A and B are shown apart, each in its own frame.
Chain A
Amino acid sequence: MLGCFPLYPPLELFHSMGLEPLVLWGMKPFLADTARSDQHLQSFVCSVGRHLTEFVLSKEGALIDGFFMYNACDTLRNLPEILRSGLEERGHRSPILNMHIPMPSLGQTDARQYLSKEIDRLIDQLSDAFGVSFLQSRFESSVALYAQARELARQLETAVTMGRLRFGAFAGLIQGNAFRSVEGQIGAMSSLLSDEGQVVGDRVGNRSAIDIILSGILPPPAGVSDIIEDAGLNVVGNDIASLARSYGYTPGNETWRSPSDYYVDFYYHHHPCPTLLGSSDRRIDTLEALIRERGARGIIFLGEKFCEYEYFEFPYLMKRFKENGIASLLLEFAIDDDENLGPMRTRIEAFAEMLREGDKT
């Protein structure tokens, strides 16, 4: 089992080489506290980093055979050595592999060759660390499986959009996929989709609901998803890192012949994300297109406290949407904010009310 972070590791490659990738993102629902992590990380580290560390240092985390990380934010890039240190204190020695994903846009710097070599180097690292080997045919099969999983996730998103599935149930399933093999993910999502036409999780298609988009690094806690929908807001799309940004894009078969080609396409055409620095400019246009395409009236930004990448972008995005007549709301989630949802409910209901008043006028 290979623990990976941040969000967009080369999963197909790991799977094809006989490893089970586990994306360590948004582990909070699976952990009671951050007692172990607090021995290593200050309180101004985001919940993602603290829970990731907590999980790795837990009894369950000890089952992970190795780790993979690529370059991310200022906090996460420090974690590999902290994790190694924490694991060694517990008597574990696990290989920690890494690679550097080029961050500039293609328009500025053509780093395709560098990225190709990083993928080749990663294959060598995996072989050395785990005694596994690469086979093109297995890679092609793995690509097909992950493409299927992403397609099923998109279909489930459509079910949410059409009111057949509650957003919270959808997000919970996708988050839970972190602990499923890709085959298990396909099974779980297919099963939910086989209830086509039925209401799942007591969601009722509400004709008077107001359509909105959610955007952030993580989906809201389950309780907040319920508040959003109970307030009469219909989530018709998302720009959430562990959801649409993760399942949004898979390279077409015609674009690649080798893993290097595949990941050059994958990372350069990835759904925009503030963590992929060169894609940030595309994020604005992508979000505006999503809003137009889905007919959304508003957008709720889900701020993960201390996530600098997201917080630098919120003010400009909110200003721009305001200029274009799109209402926005910023909710901030700190490490234990889902334990007291009262203020959150008030703000979401006020936002829904404001959108409704806008309808009347």
Chain B
Amino acid sequence: MIHPLKPRSRENLSAIMSRYYEGNHAQAAEGKFVVWIAIIVPTELLKGFDLVVCAPESHSAMCAARKMGAVQCEKAEREGYSTDLCSYARIDLGTFFDEGRGSPTLGLPKPDLMISNNDNCSLLTKWFDVYHREWDVPHFMLDVPFCYRPQQDKDLRYVLAQFGDLIRVLEDMTGQTFDIDRVRQAVHTSNEALTHWMRFLGMAAHRPSGITAFDMFAHMAPYFTWMRGEPEMTAHYRLLAEESEAELAAGNYPVPNEKYRLLWDNIAPWHQLRNMSSRLAEMDANIVYSTYATSIGRIEDRLNFYEWDGSDPLRYLARIQNRGWCCYGMDLRYKAMSEMIERFSIDGLVFASNRSCKVYSVMQMDLKRRLTKDFGIASVMIDVDHADVRKYSEENAFLRLEALLEQIDGGRTS
């Protein structure tokens, strides 16, 4: 069975996330300017202003993890939003149509401005457009070119120019003056947090692994909120790394009899974190690494930390607009996954074909074929939906996962 570890980190995570969501409502009630963002929008840049910043995607993931996803989705579907649309969007829209009811945080405070980007997930611009029309709230879209190879300088300059436009919009709307020193400090703070995050991820290389992908999924949460660039997040990732290192040194492993080391490709199945990790652990299988967790701290095909070198913080933020796994194409993903397979001694690949995230999933069939062929590694594709449990069948998924473990065994004996 799985050994639930890192109790202090889990407790701290719960505390800081609760404070964050409660704080949003309280500060908005005091009249602070509220901004909604897509998770890849550079929050560190927004630290140049005094704002309340909310990330609807993070809120939707939390609803799903707390088993509220399907209920909120149904509310959006009743308003005419198709069940084929992303479940994060449906949860968020359902929460909006029901005025926050059903959400563990009573939804999010109404925005004064929304900022999306279209390279991680372009449908998010459409999702925000719904509110833009329903509420007549301005929507600023960062247009970030999708990359089939590492970001080109022309595109970086284009993104930087848009940062300038965004700063002007915020100055006009808030009446505040942009403070670049605060941005520099936020980038510095994020950078420090990420050194601890990368330490934490590195513990997957140990056999047995000191961590699981499910740990990674849970602890990504602070990064995809306004906590990015705050000392609170740095403290959390330091605690997480130190606690994980201490457990590893003491020989405490989440899957002590780890026999199968798996790599997960897609967003976390938020409604299944406990079920899936426990059931896999019973089979001595551990998903030791995930492509999703590497959306933080690195870019494109590089697996190592992409560190800030202390130069122009805005330029650095423009460069890391490509950090989300979905911001770039198959060749870059292939290279990064190849390195993951080798560095973390992966026995099998789990491609989670996610109906709610086409940008992540469409290409997995080719990726699977290439990696399986080039590395002679076992692999499987399972159907999931990251936040709508109605589109997931545990038995079908595990039938395939068990077949994967058999494939791995078969490869070892042959």
Binding site for B on A (CB under 8 A): 39-42, 44-45, 49, 71, 73-75, 77-82, 85-86, 98, 100, 102-104, 108-109, 111, 114, 117, 121, 274, 277-278, 280-281, 284, 303, 305-306, 308-309, 311-316, 318-319
Kindly state the separation between the CA atoms of A78 and B326 in the bound complex, as whole angstroms. Answer: 10
Q: Which of B141, B358, B359, B365 has the most CB of A within 10 A?
A: B358
Pair B130/A45 contact, Cβ less than 8 Å: no
**4 A-B pairs closest in CB distance:** A315-B80, A312-B126, A74-B359, A81-B330
Pair A100/B84 contact, Cβ less than 8 Å: no
Q: Please name the residue on chain A nearest to B143 by beta carbon.
A: A103
Kindly state the separation between the CA atoms of A100 and B364 in the bound complex, as whole angstroms. Answer: 24
Task: Give the secondary structure class of A's interface.
Answer: helix
Can you list 6 A-B pairs, Cβ within 8 angstroms, ordered by A?
Answer: A73-B358, A75-B362, A77-B122, A277-B143, A280-B129, A312-B89
Kindly state the separation between the CA atoms of A318 and B82 in the bound complex, as whole angstroms. Answer: 13
**A74-B121, A308-B358 are known contacts; what are 9 more A-B pairs with Cβ within 8 Å?**
A74-B326, A78-B363, A103-B143, A108-B169, A311-B82, A312-B85, A312-B130, A315-B79, A316-B134
Partner of B358, one of A45, A82, A305: A45
Task: Give the secondary structure class of B's interface.
Answer: helix
Q: Which of A44, A117, A284 has the most CB of B within 10 A?
A: A44
Pair B141/A104 contact, Cβ less than 8 Å: yes
Q: Choose, from B45-53, B154-162, B181-189, B200-208, the stretch at the interface.
A: B154-162
Partner of B365, one of A40, A71, A306: A40
Residues of B within 8 A of A316 (CB): 130, 133-134
Pair A108/B165 contact, Cβ less than 8 Å: yes
Residues of A within 8 A of B130 (CB): 312, 315-316
Known: A41-B365, A44-B84, A81-B363. A308 touches B146 (CB 8 A): no
Pair B161/A74 contact, Cβ less than 8 Å: no
Kindly state the separation between the CA atoms of A41 and B330 in the bound complex, as whole angstroms. Answer: 14
Pair A104/B162 contact, Cβ less than 8 Å: yes
Pair B370/A85 contact, Cβ less than 8 Å: yes
B329 within 8 A of A: yes
B195 within 8 A of A: no
Residues of B within 8 A of A303 (CB): 82
Kindly state the separation between the CA atoms of A44 and B360 in the bound complex, as whole angstroms. Answer: 13
Kindly state the separation between the CA atoms of A73 and B80 in the bound complex, as whole angstroms. Answer: 21
Count of chain B residues near A, Cβ 8 A: 48
Pair B80/A277 contact, Cβ less than 8 Å: no
A290–chain B nearest beta-carbon distance, Å = 19
Pair B358/A75 contact, Cβ less than 8 Å: yes
Pair B359/A44 contact, Cβ less than 8 Å: no
A76–chain B nearest beta-carbon distance, Å = 9
Pair A42/B361 contact, Cβ less than 8 Å: yes
Pair B165/A109 contact, Cβ less than 8 Å: yes
Pair A104/B362 contact, Cβ less than 8 Å: no
Residues of A within 8 A of B358 (CB): 44-45, 73-75, 78, 306, 308
A275–chain B nearest beta-carbon distance, Å = 9
Pair B84/A305 contact, Cβ less than 8 Å: yes
Pair A42/B79 contact, Cβ less than 8 Å: no
Pair B161/A109 contact, Cβ less than 8 Å: yes
Residues 158-214 of B at the A interface (beta carbon under 8 Å) = 158, 161-162, 165, 169
Residues 138-157 of B at the A interface (beta carbon under 8 Å) = 140-141, 143, 145-146, 148, 154-155
B41 within 8 A of A: no
Q: Please name the residue on chain A nearest to B125 by beta carbon.
A: A277
B366 within 8 A of A: yes
B166–chain A nearest beta-carbon distance, Å = 9
B306 within 8 A of A: no
Kindly state the separation between the CA atoms of A311 and B363 in the bound complex, as whole angstroms. Answer: 22
Residues of A within 8 A of B154 (CB): 114, 117, 121
Kindly state the separation between the CA atoms of A71 and B123 in the bound complex, as whole angstroms. Answer: 13
Pair A313/B330 contact, Cβ less than 8 Å: no
Q: Please name the residue on chain B nearest to A44 by beta carbon.
A: B355
Residues of B within 8 A of A318 (CB): 80
B331 within 8 A of A: yes
Pair B363/A111 contact, Cβ less than 8 Å: no
Residues 361-399 of B at the A interface (beta carbon under 8 Å) = 361-366, 370
B175–chain A nearest beta-carbon distance, Å = 20
A183–chain B nearest beta-carbon distance, Å = 34
Residues of A within 8 A of B329 (CB): 77-78, 80-81
Partner of B126, one of A42, A45, A86, A308: A308
B81 within 8 A of A: yes
Pair B140/A74 contact, Cβ less than 8 Å: no
Kindly state the separation between the CA atoms of A100 and B148 in the bound complex, as whole angstroms. Answer: 12
Known: A85-B370, A114-B158, A277-B122. A109 touches B330 (CB 8 A): no
Pair B370/A73 contact, Cβ less than 8 Å: no
Residues 323-368 of B at the A interface (beta carbon under 8 Å) = 326, 329-331, 353, 355, 358-359, 361-366
Residues 227-271 of B at the A interface (beta carbon under 8 Å) = none
Kindly state the separation between the CA atoms of A217 and B361 in the bound complex, as whole angstroms. Answer: 22
Pair B143/A102 contact, Cβ less than 8 Å: yes
Q: Which of A45, A71, A74, A104 has the most CB of B within 10 A?
A: A74
B118 within 8 A of A: yes
B217 within 8 A of A: no
B86 within 8 A of A: yes
B21 within 8 A of A: no
Residues of B within 8 A of A312 (CB): 81, 85, 89, 123, 126-127, 129-130
Residues of B within 8 A of A100 (CB): 145-146, 155
B84–chain A nearest beta-carbon distance, Å = 5
Q: Please name the residue on chain A nearest to B120 by beta carbon.
A: A74
Q: Which of A45, A306, A308, A311 has the most CB of B within 10 A?
A: A308
Contact pattern, B 23-44, Cβ under 8 Å of A = 1, otherwise 0: 0000000000000000000000
Pair B82/A82 contact, Cβ less than 8 Å: no
Residues of B within 8 A of A306 (CB): 84, 358
A149–chain B nearest beta-carbon distance, Å = 30
